[in-house]
């Protein structure tokens, strides 16, 4: 364990339509114990509201999507975010209810040199409940159980910046959906580990991902891209076949299924970016962690 506290920064992506929630989030970051957290707020295709003094800002002329917007925030901390040791990524309508979250991150990363990413627990501020989809593992019935995992939550996490230096940032072209799993698989393939920590909490209103108009198309397209970019060739049809069957079993509406199938086809027809298939030992690691890369 290092004696020097790790430096922490935060990246917040916003479309400028939640000024009150954004201000509350920034206030909760400012109240964190320990050294001051440098914050970058990225306006994704929209002007930014008035923000507290000391907050760095970047205004993008158009909405470039979630992963590309967060990559801009990373680069605002120098190439690969190297001005700091750890970066927090927080949704603009979230809030850190506890003041020790950043300090817990410092301690966790300092104690475990193999730890690359921490996924926070997302809890509804009104009920305190955590949706199953916000627990990044198959056995999600107990959100209060911390564990090693194979992916993480995009708007409630902390990443050691050495991960970006080694494997690169989020996949820009994904725009929305599965960009976290793409980074997680690359990080795991490089030897990093990912933890889900139930004691590190982000308050966030309970919502359905399908509220986004592009949800079904991009979920399907990006899942194909994810497989084409990262999986050994024999696993690609297995992984995508399982997800096709799961999607049909959920009985989506005709419109949703049409959008999903359109995205699935788009994923095969369009460039997916550089292909870097994971090692078979990474496949085994994912399997031992409870989520083989076929589901």
Whether 159 and 98 have beta carbons less than 8 Å apart is answered as: no
3-state SS record for 47-106: CCCCCCCCCEEEEECCCCCHHHHHHHHHHCCCHHHCCCCEEEEEECCCECCCCCHHHHHH
pLDDT tens by residue, 205-221: 987 765 555 899 999 99
pLDDT of amino acid 76: 98
pLDDT, one tens digit per residue, over 236-275 is: 999 999 999 999 999 999 999 999 999 999 999 999 999 9
**What pLDDT digit, counting tens, does each position of 34-51 carry?**
999 999 999 999 999 999
Structural domain spans, the chain:
8-207, 210-288
Spell out a b/e string for 248-259, using b for 16 or more CB atoms within 10 Å of the CB, else e: eeeebeeebbeb
Would you say residue 3 has pLDDT above 90?
no
- Compute φ and ψ for 61, nearest 5 degrees: -70, -20
Q: Is the pLDDT of residue 2 over 60?
A: no
For the cut 80, the answer to whether the pLDDT of residue 282 exceeds it is yes
DSSP notation for the chain: --SSPPPEEEEEEE-SS-HHHHHHHHHHHHT-SSSPPEEEEEEESS------TT-EEEEESS---HHHHHHHHHHTTSGGGTTSSEEEEEETT-B--STTHHHHHHHHHHH-TTEEEEEEEEE-TTT----GGGS-SS--S-TT--EEES---TTEEEEEHHHHHHH-S--GGG-SSSHHHHHHHHHHHTT-EEEEEEEEEEE-----GGGSTTHHHHHHHHHHHHHHHHS-TTHHHHHHHHHHHHHHHT---HHHHHHHHHHHHHHHHS------PPPHHHHHHHHHTT--TT-
Q: For strand 86-91 and strand 156-160, is the pairing parallel, antiparallel, or unpaired?
A: antiparallel
What is residue 214's predicted lDDT score, i.e. its pLDDT?
Answer: 84
Nearest Cα to Cα of residue 21 among 122, 92, 125? 92
**Fold of domain 8-207:** Spore Coat Polysaccharide Biosynthesis Protein SpsA; Chain A (3.90.550)
- Say whether pLDDT at 234 is over 60: yes
What confidence tens digit (pLDDT) does each residue in 122-153 have?
999 999 999 999 999 998 999 999 999 999 99
Interval 96-126: pLDDT, tens: 999 999 999 999 999 999 999 999 999 999 9
Token pair recorded at residue 221: 């397209």
């Amino acid at each position: 364990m290092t004696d020097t506290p790790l430096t922490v920064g935060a990246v917040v992506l916003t479309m400028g339509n939640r000024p009150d929630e954004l201000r509350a989030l920034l206030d909760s970051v400012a109240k964190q114990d320990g050294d001051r957290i440098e914050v970058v707020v990225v306006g994704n295709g929209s002007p930014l509201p008035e923000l507290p003094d000391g907050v760095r800002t970047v205004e993008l002329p158009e909405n470039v999507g979630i992963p590309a917007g967060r990559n801009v925030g990373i680069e605002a901390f120098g190439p690969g975010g190297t001005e700091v040791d750890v970066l927090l990524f927080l949704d603009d309508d979230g809030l850190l209810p506890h003041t020790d979250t950043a300090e817990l991150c410092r301690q966790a990363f300092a104690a475990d040199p193999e730890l690359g990413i921490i996924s926070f627990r997302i809890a509804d501020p009104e009920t305190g409940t955590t949706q199953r989809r916000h627990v990044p593992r198959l056995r999600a019935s107990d959100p209060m159980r911390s564990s090693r995992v194979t992916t993480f939550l995009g708007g409630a996490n902390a990443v050691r910046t050495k991960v970006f230096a080694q494997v690169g940032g989020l996949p820009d072209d994904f725009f929305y959906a599965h960009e976290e799993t793409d980074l997680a698989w690359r990080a795991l393939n490089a030897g990093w580990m990912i933890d889900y920590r139930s004691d590190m909490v982000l308050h966030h209103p309970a919502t359905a991902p399908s509220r986004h108009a592009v949800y079904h198309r991009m979920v399907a397209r990006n899942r194909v891209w994810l497989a084409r970019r990262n999986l050994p060739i024999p696993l690609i049809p297995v992984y995508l076949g399982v997800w096709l069957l799961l999607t049909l079993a959920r009985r989506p509406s005709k419109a949703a299924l049409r959008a999903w199938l359109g995205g699935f086809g788009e994923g095969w027809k369009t460039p997916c970016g550089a292909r870097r298939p994971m090692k078979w030992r990474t496949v085994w690691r994912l399997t031992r962690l409870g989520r083989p890369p076929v589901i």
